[in-house]
């Protein structure tokens, strides 16, 4: 069975608030699926209840991450992403 990732669709708020019915076709793209699971640790300390941001690139960037998930009380996290791409992960805590 193929895996499909939805393609983002943006509708401007001014159009959506006009009271008119908006017709919009949604589409998907086929993608290889990767289930990424890990534990956030720094210097033998588990990093609880923080955000894990994921970029599908190794380049340094100030742009929004492609994916975001969170660690649980044991610092475990998991997310579904595309296979066959290089990933850059960063952990954020308060």
Q: Report the 3 state secondary structure along the chain.
A: CCCEEECCCCCCHHHHCCCCCCCCCCCEEECCEEEEEEECEECCEECCCCEEEEECCCCCCCCCCCEEEECCCCCEEEEEEECCCCCEEEEECC
Residue 2 has pLDDT above 70, yes or no: no
- What are the tens digits of pLDDT across the range 21-41? 777 788 887 778 888 999 999
Domain of 47, in residue numbers: 4-92
Total number of domains in the chain: 1
Q: Is the pTM of this model over 0.85?
A: no
Averaged pLDDT of the chain:
83
The segment with the largest mean pLDDT, out of 12-16, 55-59, 85-89, is: 85-89
Residue 17: pLDDT band (50, 70, 90) is low
């Amino acid at each position: 069975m193929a895996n499909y990732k939805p393609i983002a669709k943006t509708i401007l708020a001014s159009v959506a608030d006009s009271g008119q019915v908006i017709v919009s076709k949604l589409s998907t793209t086929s993608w290889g699926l990767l289930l990424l699971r890990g534990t956030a640790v720094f210097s033998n300390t588990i990093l609880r209840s923080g955000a894990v941001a994921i970029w599908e690139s190794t380049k340094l960037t100030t742009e929004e991450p492609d994916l975001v998930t969170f660690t649980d009380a044991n610092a475990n996290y998991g997310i579904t992403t595309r296979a066959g791409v290089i990933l850059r992960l960063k952990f954020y805590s308060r």
